[in-house]
A and B are shown apart, each in its own frame.
Chain A
Amino acid sequence: MALNRMFRTCPMTGLRVHQPAEALIKVNAVAAVVSLLVGGVLALLVTLTRWKAPGMLPPEWYYLVLTGHGLDMLVFWIIFFEIAILYFASSILLGCRLAAPGMAWTGFGLMVIGAIMNNVAVFRGGSSVMFTSYVPMQASPEFYLGLILFAVGALIACFVFFGTLVVGQQERTYNGSVPLVTFGAVTAAIIAVFTIASGAIILIPTFLWSIGLIDHIDSLMYRAVWWAFGHSSQQINVAAHVSVWYAVAAIVFGAKPMSEKVSRLAFLLYIMFITIASAHHLLVDPGLTSNWKIVNTSYAIYLAVLASMVHGLTVPGAIEVSQRQKGFTRGLFEWLRKAPWGNPVFSGMFMSLLGFGFLGGISGVIMGTEQLNLIIHNTIYVPGHFHATVVLGTTLAFMAVTYFVIPAIFRRELSFPKLAQWQPYLFGLGMTMLSLFMMGAGTLGVPRRHWDITFAGNTLGFEFPGVAHLMMALMGLGGLLAVIGGAIYLLVVVHSVFLGKKITTPDFKLVRVAEGMAAVPARPAGAALQAHGGVHAWAAPGTFTLAMVFLTTFVLYYFINWKYLSTVWPLK
């Protein structure tokens, strides 16, 4: 079979785009957006049910819809999009052909079949087991089989990605080491392999159990191994969206990493320590010792948290350095004030960074502290936390980068540019409200995954304070705003992709790259003189100030929670 070596040069970025890679990026992005659409409709229904005033769905529908919402968003939307990112970060950033496009299509096919099978199982009823599908509660075999097929497809995509790195290196399509964004994507893919392996270890036996070939699965073992899959897959997201932050800083500002060494070592810390986060979910479970819990939950002295704190500094730091070089040097924050806030690629990415750090990051560390988990476990604080990390952090970053992908890869102009400008703000605000009020209600003990916290018709019910119900209503309002923001995203994206104005470039042509060799761009003269981003000794004072604000918030909120814990019943 002849290799397809047709490339085009992107007139916007100068990147060389391999035809099959481009097609695969498109289909994966489309599948992601379809999943987001389904998950988004379900999100609206969940919001309107937990907010008691509309109280829309009956309980059996609520639990069904919540299961579907979790899977479509957390698994299908995010992972399809991540596969698109992997192909972009390898084939396109390295300017090399995608390894084994046939395998990549097979993987994509398996993922689509798996996603559909799982959704059908959920919507047929009888598989309302939530995203976590804890045993001994049982779903239909198709539920597990769908997830397994999807995971196999994703695993194939990871290996196509690794293969592409080898192709790029062997065919010498780039100079020296891979770009930082590709490096981040490698991190994500390595974590993905570990994650999918954990998923296989637990989901394959669970599938066999659901068809009656295995008669017992231990509930604690399930939770321990399942979360090595469930939590690590969120770490794929972190590695992926941090890579997107760096990419956006590079695309919008031409920003260089402050120092390659620091950013890359921080990614390495993710690989080494983030995988032990399964413990975060087991802090109030029986049968595990405190020593095990403490070492694991802290990622061995918070080294993965350290990595995120480093990225949280170096991404805005790189932007600040680049802005200051362009002359925005007045005061601490002129670089930030004069940033292109009307460009959704930037505004979405920057809100993702702030939301992930301030809301998601801090709350995650608090919940993951062994004793503090006692006052948080399984309350609605938990979804409050992960809507800040996965939605404000990952989803918003992915939305932001879509506004770059549409002109660059789909070769269409953005439809409704004004709406697109407002979209990240609306979505970001709604999701911030949703997260904050969920955390507030969780602090008052409101449970997650619960149809009726008023306990109507139940003389044993607990009466939550009025403020808890108020917070749930405000959460509902935030959820509505976010759904509207999400709908605008879908409208802009779908309209642009199918009906948007085609971008044509007069001298556009496909270039057949000579067998084995693409032209390597010349290294700019004097590059070695500027080996790293910052040229000044203390190059990003504004960013450092923001970091200190972050740290102060973190420390205060951390100890407030200990204070709160100290007031509850003594336990030993």
Chain B
Amino acid sequence: MSAIQPPESRVWWKQPVEPLEITWIVIAFVWGLVMFAMMPYWHVFGKQNLANEAYRSTPEAFSAKTQAMIDKHTVREETHKVQDVELKIPVVRPPAGADVYLIARLWQWWPMLELEAGQTYKLHLMSMDWLHGFSLQPENINIQVHPGYEHILQVQPTRAGTYSIICNEYCGINHHTMASRLYVVEKK
């Protein structure tokens, strides 16, 4: 009886199982266990994990903290052109180990950060309006950025260079213009 006809016996769950099938089921089950174990394993022995640290916040509170950081640690200002609009962006260089704030908003990352290679920073991410996607290139680290949730990650830049942060969550008509830089410099 084929698959479009009723099985021979009504009580199908008592039919014998093919040895080939049971072998495959065991293999697939064991592979599932291995894959399952990899995730906790990486939390213990791997270096790329999210912290589970996040707080509810408001745009006002987050902007205030970001502004305080900008006031204290701005080292220079850069001028950029985005779709024929001139934009002055502060470049902030917080001390190693500090809390670093990055605002996502339509359609900018604010401010620009300069970090030291080999140091660890606490990066706070939050959106002021819609959903955004923090996408660090060419590292290819991608994190969802929500409004109202302050997400905290400990990051450790490894190599000096100029990195890009692009937005990879669709956020409206100028989504594709939302990009910024992140500088990593050698430890002094």
Residues of A within 8 A of B149 (CB): 219-220, 286-287
Residues of A within 8 A of B5 (CB): 179, 250
Segment touching B, from A186-194, A422-430, A456-464, A487-495: A456-464
Q: How distant is the Cα of A230 from the Cα of B135 in the complex, in angstroms? A: 23
Q: How distant is the Cα of A248 from the Cα of B3 in the complex, in angstroms? A: 9
B1 at interface, CB cutoff 8 A: yes
A258 at interface, CB cutoff 8 A: yes
Question: Would you call the interface of chain B mostly helix, strand, loop, or mixed?
Answer: mixed
A37 at interface, CB cutoff 8 A: no
Q: Interface size on A (CB < 8 Å)? A: 116
Contact of B169 with A247 in the complex, beta carbons under 8 Å: no
Name B86's closest neighbour in chain A (CB-CB).
A459
Residues of A within 8 A of B157 (CB): 569
Question: In chain B between 124 and 150, which residues have their CB closer than 8 angstroms to a CB of chain A?
Answer: 125, 129-131, 133, 135-144, 146-150
Residues of A within 8 A of B36 (CB): 294, 298, 301-302
Residues of B within 8 A of A379 (CB): 135, 140, 142, 168
Question: In chain B between 52 and 68, which residues have their CB closer than 8 angstroms to a CB of chain A?
Answer: 52, 54
Residues of B within 8 A of A566 (CB): 46-48
Contact of A371 with B3 in the complex, beta carbons under 8 Å: no
Name A529's closest neighbour in chain B (CB-CB).
B8
Q: How distant is the Cα of A170 from the Cα of B157 in the complex, in angstroms? A: 68
Question: In chain A between 233 and 290, which residues have their CB closer than 8 angstroms to a CB of chain B?
Answer: 246-247, 249-251, 254-265, 282, 284-290
Name B42's closest neighbour in chain A (CB-CB).
A371
Residues of B within 8 A of A54 (CB): none
Residues of A within 8 A of B16 (CB): 259, 531-532
Residues of A within 8 A of B167 (CB): 447
A306 at interface, CB cutoff 8 A: yes
Name A262's closest neighbour in chain B (CB-CB).
B21
A377 at interface, CB cutoff 8 A: yes
Q: A390 to nearest B CB, angstroms?
A: 19
Known A306-B25, A460-B80, A554-B31; judge A445-B138 contact (CB<8 A).
Answer: yes
Contact of B25 with A310 in the complex, beta carbons under 8 Å: yes
Segment touching B, from A22-30, A201-209, A475-483, A537-545: A537-545
Residues of B within 8 A of A59 (CB): 173-174, 176
Q: How distant is the Cα of A261 from the Cα of B50 in the complex, in angstroms? A: 41
Known A181-B3, A247-B3, A306-B25; judge A286-B168 contact (CB<8 A).
Answer: no
Q: How distant is the Cα of A51 from the Cα of B84 in the complex, in angstroms? A: 24
Known A371-B49, A444-B140, A450-B176; judge A365-B130 contact (CB<8 A).
Answer: no
Residues of B within 8 A of A568 (CB): 48, 139-141
B73 at interface, CB cutoff 8 A: no
A505 at interface, CB cutoff 8 A: no
Question: In chain B between 3 and 59, which residues have their CB closer than 8 angstroms to a CB of chain A?
Answer: 3-10, 12-21, 23-25, 27-29, 31-33, 35-36, 38-40, 42-43, 46-52, 54
Residues of A within 8 A of B31 (CB): 302, 551, 554-555
Contact of A460 with B82 in the complex, beta carbons under 8 Å: yes
Name B145's closest neighbour in chain A (CB-CB).
A286
Segment touching B, from A130-138, A343-351, A391-399: A130-138
Question: In chain A between 10 and 36, which residues have their CB closer than 8 angstroms to a CB of chain B?
Answer: none
Residues of A within 8 A of B38 (CB): 369, 562
Contact of B144 with A284 in the complex, beta carbons under 8 Å: yes
Contact of B24 (CB < 8 Å), options: A254, A310, A459: A310
Residues of B within 8 A of A464 (CB): 137
The number of chain B residues touching the other chain, given as a range, is 35 or more
Residues of B within 8 A of A247 (CB): 3-4
Residues of B within 8 A of A257 (CB): 2-3, 7
Name B139's closest neighbour in chain A (CB-CB).
A568
Q: How distant is the Cα of A472 from the Cα of B3 in the complex, in angstroms? A: 41
Residues of B within 8 A of A444 (CB): 138, 140
A166 at interface, CB cutoff 8 A: no
Q: Which of B24, B43, B129 has the most CB of A within 10 A?
A: B24
Q: B101 to nearest A CB, angstroms?
A: 14
Residues of A within 8 A of B137 (CB): 445, 462, 464
A448 at interface, CB cutoff 8 A: yes
The contact string, 1 if C-beta is below 8 Å from chain B, for chain A 406-449, is 00000000000000000000000000000000000001110111
Q: How distant is the Cα of A250 from the Cα of B166 in the complex, in angstroms? A: 50
A360 at interface, CB cutoff 8 A: no
Contact of B3 with A255 in the complex, beta carbons under 8 Å: yes
Known A179-B7, A375-B140, A534-B20; judge A219-B146 contact (CB<8 A).
Answer: yes
Contact of A137 (CB < 8 Å), options: B84, B131, B135: B131
Q: How distant is the Cα of A61 from the Cα of B37 in the complex, in angstroms? A: 45
Q: How distant is the Cα of A166 from the Cα of B50 in the complex, in angstroms? A: 50
Residues of B within 8 A of A93 (CB): 4
Contact of A460 with B180 in the complex, beta carbons under 8 Å: yes
The contact string, 1 if C-beta is below 8 Å from chain B, for chain A 335-366, is 00000000000000000000000000000010
Contact of B146 (CB < 8 Å), options: A286, A314, A569: A286
Contact of A459 with B80 in the complex, beta carbons under 8 Å: yes
Contact of B142 with A547 in the complex, beta carbons under 8 Å: no
Question: In chain A between 484 and 540, which residues have their CB closer than 8 angstroms to a CB of chain B?
Answer: 523-524, 527-528, 530-534, 537-540
Name A288's closest neighbour in chain B (CB-CB).
B52
Contact of B144 with A286 in the complex, beta carbons under 8 Å: yes
Q: How distant is the Cα of A60 from the Cα of B129 in the complex, in angstroms? A: 20
B185 at interface, CB cutoff 8 A: no
Residues of A within 8 A of B179 (CB): 455, 458, 460-462
Residues of A within 8 A of B130 (CB): 134, 136-137
B154 at interface, CB cutoff 8 A: yes
Q: A200 to nearest B CB, angstroms?
A: 22
Contact of B18 with A262 in the complex, beta carbons under 8 Å: yes
Q: How distant is the Cα of A130 from the Cα of B173 in the complex, in angstroms? A: 12
* A-B CB contact pairs (8 Å), 7 listed: A177-B12, A257-B7, A298-B36, A376-B142, A377-B142, A459-B80, A571-B141
Interface residues of B (CB under 8 A from A): 1-10, 12-21, 23-25, 27-29, 31-33, 35-36, 38-40, 42-43, 46-52, 54, 80-84, 120, 125, 129-131, 133, 135-144, 146-151, 153-158, 164, 166-177, 179-181
The 3 closest A-B CB pairs, nearest first, are A302-B32, A462-B164, A286-B151
Q: Assuming A256-B2, A447-B133, A461-B179, what are 13 further A-B pairs, CB within 8 angstroms?
A: A179-B4, A219-B149, A257-B2, A259-B21, A286-B125, A298-B36, A303-B32, A305-B32, A377-B142, A460-B181, A544-B20, A551-B31, A571-B47
